[in-house]
Amino acid sequence: MRRPRRLGLFAMILGTLVLPRGGWGADPAPSTLFGWGKQSLGISAGYGFAVPTGETTGELADVEYVYVVPRWSIGLSDPLGGDAWYRGNVELVAEGALLFAVEPDDGFAGGITAMVRYNFLPAGRLIPFVQGGAGILFLDLDLEDAGRADDFNFSPQAGVGIHYFFSGRTAFTGEWRWHHISNAHIDEPNRGINSSLFLIGVTTFLK
């Protein structure tokens, strides 16, 4: 019952957000904040839980964790696609990765991640995006089933998300990711962790 309750808590947090109404006034339209060289800073936190698939079995399938992500991003393109539904821009996202395991035992991981993100740029406050990338993690979960999963690992991941602007340059950011941790057979046995990760946070877009 732990997972539904914790996911319900994040849903309640989302439901209590009070977002302003009305026009933008002197503030820039959200879509104008995305383009070549334009930058943002943000931080997100969330909850991940292992999904029993393939190599993720035994204790590894019981892993649950809190994930904290400070980030910086920079635009790699101006808006593409003209007036098409897929109009958007490409962005490079650099993240710190802090993982605090809570089940089945305490543990910690720290590392860095690089993501490529495509932001869809319709008119209005809502900016959806898709993203994918990979990082490195130094893992210390100390699980009997982990084999040599501790120490140096890679963390490929991909997912979807949204920015919802509640002021001219600041947005609520929500994401879901499929997150993988393994050592890519640098050492054996290579027991990996596949997990579903939910994140919420705030992003500020710079001038």
What pLDDT digit, counting tens, does each position of 85-95 carry? Answer: 999 999 999 99
User: Is the model's pLDDT at 79 over the cut of 50?
Assistant: yes
CA distances to 9, 143, 144, 190, 204 from 104, in Å: 20, 8, 11, 19, 35
Judge: domain 41-205, CATH 2.40.160.20: yes
Instruction: Provide the Cα torsion 62, 71, 153, 52; round to 10°.
Output: 30
**pLDDT (0 to 100) of residue 43:** 98
pLDDT of residue 148: 46
86-125 pLDDT, tens per residue? 999 999 999 999 999 998 888 899 999 999 999 999 889 9
Rounded to whole angstroms, the Cα distance separating 64 from 47 reads: 7
Pick the residue with more confidence: 196 or 60? 196
Domain ranges of the chain: 41-205
What pTM was computed for the model?
0.83
What's the whole-number mean pLDDT along residues 132-148? 78
